[in-house]
Amino acid sequence: MTVYGYARVSTAGQSLYEQKETLKNAGAEMIFSEKYSGTTTSRPQFKKLVNLIEPNDTLIVTKLDRFARNTREALNLIDDLLKQKIVIKVLNLGTIDNTPMGRMIVRTLLSVAEMERDMIIERTQAGKIFARQHNPNYKEGRPKRKKDSRNVAIFEYSNSHTVKKTAEAFNISPRTVQYIKKLFR
Measure the CA dihedral 162/166/167/170, to 10°.
Answer: 180
Domain 3-99 class in CATH: alpha beta
pLDDT digits (tens, 9 = 90+) for 103-148: 787 788 778 878 888 999 999 999 999 999 999 988 888 777 677 8
Indicate the residue type of 68. A
Q: Which helix (H) or strand (E) holds 17?
A: helix 17-25
CA 49 to CA 53: how far, in whole Å?
6
Domains of the chain, residue spans:
3-99, 149-183
Residues 6 or more apart from 74 whose CB is under 8 A from it? 64, 67, 68, 106, 110
Per-residue DSSP letter, 145? P
Catalytic residues: 10
Average of per-residue pLDDT across 14-37: 89
